[in-house]
Amino acid sequence: MVWLSVRVNLPGKFLCLSLKREIELPGKVPLIRKYGDKLGEMEIEEVSSCGEALPLLSLNHVSLLCRSVLDSARFYEEVLGFVLIKRPSSFNFTGAWLYNYGIGIHLIENPSLDEFEPIVEPRPINPKDNHISFQSADVVLVKRRLEEMGMRYVTAVVEEEGIKVDQVFFHDPDGYMVEICNCDKIPVLPLSSSFKPYETTASFRKSAAPAKCGVLFMENEMMESLSMDILNLVF
């Protein structure tokens, strides 16, 4: 019997699990996979530095100043597939809210941007500029669609231990950088904090005190999944 150790990313912490197969949690991506041969091993190691961090859950939206809400909204709709959604009617400035892929794009119109950054010619596309990145399962198709739209883009390839990640970079109407990539190929490996090492607990009990990061619900859900694994093993 081979047991699989899975590191699951939860808001504000990492949990290392040793179990007979990968736990499936919606929206949670296993980060580290390694094998062992300890039959019946069912320990959970909690690695957390969130005691003093803010109780965050996820990225909600990215807010961008734009010269024309109409042009920018069309770009995020037609090129990136976002959908216009209702914004608060109390706002007394021109803007738009869009949503898709679990993230919002909030546009705020500011025509005076040209006074500070006049556009004489298209800016060079520099992958090292500030940018927002979207995951894609088909980067080749992304490039073909961009070519059909007549959009300029540059590509890059990141290689890490035999893994290749394809990246495509292009600008929105205001020169903000957008990246499309298949970056999920590279595992997310947590490192110790530069300011404070991670505190490690060898085991986790379901009756333990609630975590300070607001993830008790997810921990209980994981424990239920572990219980189902045990039942499957027995029967």
For residue range 143-173, list pLDDT tens digits in order. Answer: 999 999 999 999 999 998 899 999 999 999 9
H runs (alpha helix) in 60-198: 69-78, 113-116, 139-148
Q: Minimum mean pLDDT among 6-15, 78-87, 193-202: which range?
A: 6-15
pTM of the model: 0.62
Out of 109, 179, 199, 219, pick the active-site residue. Answer: 179
Query: Are the C-beta atoms of residues 25 and 225 closer than 8 Å to each other?
Result: yes
22 is catalytic: no
The superfamily (CATH) of domain 124-187 is 2,3-Dihydroxybiphenyl 1,2-Dioxygenase, domain 1 (3.10.180.10)
User: What distances in angstroms separate CA 133 from CA 8, 159, 233, one per listed residue?
Assistant: 22, 18, 41
User: Tens digits of per-residue pLDDT, 43-72?
Assistant: 444 444 446 889 999 999 999 999 999 999
| Averaged pLDDT, 115-142 | 83
Banded model confidence at residue 111, pLDDT cuts 50, 70, 90: confident
- For residues 235 and 62, what is the distance between their CA atoms, to the nearest angstrom? 48
pLDDT for the residue numbered 125: 94
Strand partners, 13: 10, 48
The contacts of residue 29 (CB under 8 Å, 6+ apart) are 8, 9, 184, 188
Residue ranges covered by each domain of the chain: 3-52+196-234, 55-118, 124-187
CATH number belonging to the domain at 55-118, selected among 3.40.190.10, 3.10.180.10, 3.30.420.10, 3.40.1260.10? 3.10.180.10
| 124-187 matches 55-118 in CATH topology | yes
